[in-house]
């Protein structure tokens, strides 16, 4: 099993290039981030080249954070700003070789928001495809992000079908899905053809995956048994120093090499 460090939360007290180096030193196989736009792509590329890591993905800008924005692409009337954020994300991802972009929906409701999101995603997918980039959409839970437009995997699948582009995939964050729907391993198995990236954190506190209501030994084993080989994104909020929260990683790697998958026919 491979793991990616989400540098939006892990080592987020360091400049992004130094966080990349810290992730490599800790044994991660890849990195990902939220909003890297204040860091020159040259500095990110230098750290990626030095470490041999890939930046798996990044997010589109949220908009006016001071005004409470958490994405723009499902907000009717914000199409120009949303598409500018998409253009910026594609340019940055292309410059650093990132294969995925999470297009953030924002706070909205109703059929007009659905149509706006579908239109902006079609725009994003068309441009991203020219650069070999996959667009991701991620359901967020209603406890942490009340009124966020995209909240469930069924809603995400309906949007993916409406857009109809091969490079639009689901970001399956175990933390968010557990809070909204549960039944993680069955859902991952059913949705795997539509999944572009998997993330995880403990529930309910979004900490390291070594406590809480999700048995990640079981979840990671199930994912491995499905033949999923891409790095899983550690997007959790460390309590204190990130390096002091990584015992789970070595523990689960060892477990997955010794416990077989057992399936029942009934």
Residue 198's H or E segment, with its range, is: strand 195-200
Report residue 213 CA to chain centroid gap.
21
Across 179-190, average pLDDT = 98
Strand partners, 137: 170
* pLDDT (0 to 100) of residue 252: 53
**Full set of structural domains in the chain with CATH:** 3-256 (3.20.20.150)
What pTM does this model have? 0.93
Which residue from 168, 226, 227, 235 is spatially nearest to 199, judged by alpha carbons?
Answer: 235
User: Which residues, at least 6 apart from 22, have a Cβ–Cβ distance to it below 8 Å?
Assistant: 11, 14, 242, 243
* pLDDT (0 to 100) of residue 250: 79
Q: What is the per-residue pLDDT across 68-90, written as a single tens digit (0 to 9) for each?
A: 999 999 999 999 999 999 999 99
pLDDT at 65 over 50: yes
Across 129-157, average pLDDT = 98
For the chain, give the percent of residues with pLDDT over 90: 93
Across 123-139, average pLDDT = 98
Taking a C-beta distance cutoff of 8 angstroms, is the pair 77, 64 a contact? no
Residue 180's H or E segment, with its range, is: helix 174-180
pLDDT at 208 over 60: yes
Across 223-227, average pLDDT = 97
| DSSP category for residue 146 | T
Across 121-138, average pLDDT = 98
At 152, is the pLDDT very low, low, confident or very high (cuts 50, 70, 90)? very high
pLDDT at 104 over 60: yes
* pLDDT (0 to 100) of residue 260: 37
Torsion angle of C-alpha atoms 170, 171, 177, 182, degrees rounded to 10: 60
Asked if omega into 190 is within 30° of 0 (cis), the reply is no
Cα four-point dihedral sign 210, 254, 174, 246:
positive
Q: How far apart are CA 246 and CA 31, in angstroms?
A: 15
pLDDT at 182 over 60: yes
Residue 94 vs residue 258, higher pLDDT: 94
Q: Which residues are catalytic?
A: 138, 235
Q: What is the per-residue pLDDT across 228-266, written as a single tens digit (0 to 9) for each?
A: 999 999 999 999 999 999 999 976 543 333 333 333 344
């Amino acid at each position: 099993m491979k793991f990616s460090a989400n540098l939006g939360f892990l080592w987020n007290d360091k400049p992004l290039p130094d966080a990349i180096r810290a992730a490599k030193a800790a044994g991660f196989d890849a990195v990902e981030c939220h909003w890297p736009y204040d860091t020159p792509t040259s500095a990110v590329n230098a750290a990626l080249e030095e470490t041999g890591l890939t930046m798996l993905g990044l997010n589109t800008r949220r908009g006016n954070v001071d005004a409470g924005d958490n994405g723009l692409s499902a907000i009717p009337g914000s199409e120009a700003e949303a598409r500018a954020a998409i253009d910026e994300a594609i340019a940055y991802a292309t410059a650093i070789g990132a294969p995925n972009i999470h297009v953030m929906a924002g706070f909205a409701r109703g059929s007009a928001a659905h149509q706006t999101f579908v239109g902006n995603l079609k725009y994003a997918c068309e441009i991203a495809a020219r650069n070999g980039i996959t667009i991701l959409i991620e359901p967020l839970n209603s406890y942490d992000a009340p009124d966020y437009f995209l909240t469930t995997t069924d809603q995400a699948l309906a949007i993916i079908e409406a857009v109809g582009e091969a490079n639009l995939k689901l970001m399956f964050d175990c933390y968010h899905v557990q809070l909204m729907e549960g039944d993680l391993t069955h859902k991952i198995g059913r949705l795997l053809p539509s999944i572009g990236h998997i993330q995880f954190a403990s529930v309910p506190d979004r900490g390291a995956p070594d406590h809480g209501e999700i048995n990640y030994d079981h979840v990671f084993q199930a994912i491995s048994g499905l033949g999923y080989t891409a790095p899983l994104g550690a997007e959790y909020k460390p309590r204190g120093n990130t390096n002091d929260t990584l015992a789970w990683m070595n523990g689960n790697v060892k477990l997955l090499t010794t416990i077989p998958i057992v399936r029942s026919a009934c």
